[in-house]
Structure 1
C-alpha cells in the first residue's frame, strides 16, 4: 500500500502535516475527512506512515498534487454567501471567533478555507475583523473592508454584513444579466466569422481555379472575392499577427490616462452602448453610496471608494470634483449637475435627499429605478444587436454567393446562345 505525505486543515483551521498509507489519493482524502482533516496537498512518498504529524519529507521523488489550489478561486457569490451566514451567526449570539471557525468548516473552496482560517487566527490574536480582512485584498474589496470597519465602530456589524451580502448579490445579478445578454450576439458573431472564413479558405479557391480554366472575363465582385480569398489563404499568418499587434497596441494605448479617458468618453457618446454603460454606472454609484452611507461610512470616504468602482474615467473625474467641492461645504447634487454627465432625474433626487436628510433612502430608490432601467436597456440592446448580427452574417454570405453565381449564370447564358 503506497504512503502519502499530506498537508491539511484541522477543524480549528490549523495546518496539519503527516504521512499516511492508503490505496489511492481519493481513499486518503476519505480517511482524513473521517478524522476531521481537510486535505489540501498530497505527495506520494516512500517513507512509512507516521499517523499524525511528522514532516512531509522529500524522499521518493513523488510529484506533488496540489488539490487545494488547482483551478480554485474565491468567487464573489461565495463571499456573499459567507457574509450572510456570518451575519446570521452573529445575530444568533455566536461570537465572532466561533462564527469564523464555523464558516471555515462550512466553505468548500480550499483557498477560501485558508483565507477564513487566517482571518480567524488574526481575530483570535486580538485583531479587528476589518484589519484581518485587509490582509486578503484579492478576496475582500476595499468597499467590503471599509463597510466592516464602519460596522465594527458603530456596533452594528450584523446589519452591515447583511447590507454587504445584499449589495454583492445585486451586483452579481446585474453582471449576470449583462453577460447573458451579450452571449447570444457574440456567439452569432463568432459563428458568422467562422462560416465566412471557411468559405473564403476552402470553397472560393476551388471556384477560382474553375473560372481560371474557363478564361472568361469575370465581374468586379467575383474578382474582388477571389483577391480577398487569396489574401486570407496565403497570408493568414500575417493577418493574425496584425490583429494581435492591433489588440496589443490598443491595450497599451488604453492603459494610458489619455487613452482610457478618450475611450470612455467615446463609449458614453455611442447611441445604444453609451446609454447602457451610463445606466449601469449610475446604478452602481447609487447602490454603493447608499449602502456605505447606511453602514456608517463617512461621505468623503464613501465617494473615494465609489469613484474607483464606476469603471469610467469621465464619471470618476466628476466624483473627484464633487468630493473636493463637498470638502469645501458644497452639496453633491450641484456638482453632479454641472458636469452634465448625470441625468436631471439623478441630480434632482439627490438634491431632494440632501434637503430632507434622507439621502441614503433616496439613493436606494434611485438605484432600484436604474436597475430596472438597466434591465430594460439590456433587453433593448439585445433586440437591436440580434438583427444587426443576422444582417451582417446574411450580407457576408450573400455577397459570396452572389459573386460566385454571377459568372456561372453568365457562362450558362453564353452557352445557350
Structure 2
C-alpha cells in the first residue's frame, strides 16, 4: 500500500484535497471519480527515508534486490494476480532503479510485448541469462517456476558475495592498521631515532636517512602530500578492475577463481536446461553469463 495526495474539484469549482491509501494511482482515480467531478492531481507521498535512498541511489541493482524482485513476482503470479498488476504492486516497494524499470515493463506489456522482450531493453539489470530463462518460462508455460529459480539463484549468488566480503574484511582491517601504524611511526618515532643517532654522534644509516628525508618533505609540503595520496587512491580505484584481473592471474588465486567460475557455469547451465532451453543454446548463454 502507498499513500497518495489528491486534489479534485466539483462542478461548482470548489477545491477538495486530501490523502488516500491505495495500491496504485488507478485505484485513487476510481475513488475520486465516484465522489468528485474533476480530478486535478494525484501524486505519490514519499517518506523521508525513501527520498534519501532515491537521492543517494546510483541506479545499480544488487543480487539481493534481484532475488527479492523475482521472489515477490513469482509469489504474486502464483496467487493468481496478473503480470501487469503484479508489477504495479512491486513498483511501490522496490528501489528507485527497479521502480523505473517496472514502469517501463508495464508500458511494454500493455503494448503487447512479452516480459522477456521487455527485459531485453534493460541489460544493466536483466542479464542475457535472466532473459533467456524468462523467455523459456514463457514458452513452456512455467514462468512462475522460472522466476522462483531465478530468485534462488540470485539469493545464492548474494550469499557467496557476502561470504567473500566477510573473509576479506579482516585482511583489510589489518592492512589499514598497518598503514596507520606506519604513519604514526614516521611522524612520532622517527624523530626520536634521529635524535638518538645525533646524541651518540653517529651517522644515520641510508634507509633511516631516506625515511627522514621523506618525512621532512611530507611535513614541509603536507598539502602536496595529501593531494598526492588522494590522487593515488583515486587512480587505484579507477584501475581496480585491472588490478583485480592482475590478482586473478596469481598462481594460488587463479586456481580458486577457476573453480568458482566452473561452479557458476554449471549452476547457470542446469538452470537453463531445467527451463527447457536446448543444450547448445544453454552452453553458449551460460558461458556468456559466467565470463
TM-score, normalization: structure 2? 0.72
**Mapped pair 1:75 → 2:75:** no
> Which residue number in structure 2 is paired with residue 286 of structure 1?
266
1:178 pairs, out of 164, 168, 191, with 164
* CA deviation after TM superposition for structure 1 residue 274, in Å: 2.6
Partner of 1:394: none
Matches for 1:319-358 after TM superposition, within 5 Å: none
Distance 2:231 2:42 in 1: 56
Give the conservation status (yes or no) of the 8 Å contact 1:122–1:132: yes
| Partner residue, 1:216 | 201
CA spacing shift, 1:35–1:173, aligned 2, 3 Å: closer
User: 1:66 and 1:172, CA in 2 relative to 1: closer, same or farther beyond 3 A?
Assistant: closer
Distance in structure 2 (CA, Å) of the matches to 1:279 and 1:244? 31
8 Å Cα contact 2:6-2:19 kept in structure 1 = no
Q: Deviations over 1:30-81 (max 9, x none)?
A: x75647679xxxxxxxxxxx983399xxxxxxxxx97673122433212211
- The aligned counterpart of 1:227 is 210
Does the 8 Å CA contact 2:24/2:88 hold for their aligned counterparts? no
Contact 1:101 1:120 in 2 (8 A): yes
The two structures, once aligned, show a CA RMSD in angstroms of: 3.8
Following superposition, the deviation at residue 288 of structure 1 comes to: 1.1
Aligned counterpart in structure 2 of residue 162 of structure 1, from 130, 143, 148? 148
Q: Relative to 1, partners in 2 of residues 1:246 and 1:80: Cα closer, same or farther, differing over 3 Å?
A: closer
Shift of 1:291: 0.8
Judging changes above 3 Å, is the alpha-carbon distance between structure 1 residues 264 and 152 closer, same or farther for their aligned structure 2 residues?
farther
Match runs of 1:71-220 below 5 Å = 71-72=56-57, 73=59, 74-105=61-92, 107-212=93-198, 214-218=199-203, 220=205
Which ranges of structure 1 fall in alignment gaps of 5 or more residues? Answer: 1-8, 20-30, 39-49, 56-64, 312-417
Q: Distance in 2 between matches of 1:66 and 1:284?
A: 36
Deviation at 1:301, TM superposition (A): 2.9
1:259-317 CA deviation, whole Å, 9 max, x = no partner?
96xx47723xx13x233212211111111111111112333333333223334xxxxxx
Q: Is the 8 A contact 1:289 1:306 kept in 2?
A: yes
Distance 1:93 1:248 in 2: 47
Gaps of 5+ in 2: 9-17, 26-37, 44-49, 219-224
Counterpart in the other structure of 2:41: 53
Alignment of 1:247-266 (within 5 A): 247=236, 254=242, 263=246, 266=249
Which structure has the greater CA radius of gyration?
A: 1
Q: Deviations over 1:161-205 (max 9, x none)?
A: 111111111111111111111111111111111111221133213
SS of the aligned residue for 1:296 comes to coil
CA distance in 2, matches of 1:249, 1:178: 21
Q: Distance in 1 between matches of 2:62 and 2:280?
A: 29
Deviation at 1:117, TM superposition (A): 2.1
Helix, strand or coil for the counterpart of 1:188?
helix
Classify 1:285/1:114 alpha carbon distance in 2 versus 1 (closer, same or farther; 3 Å): same
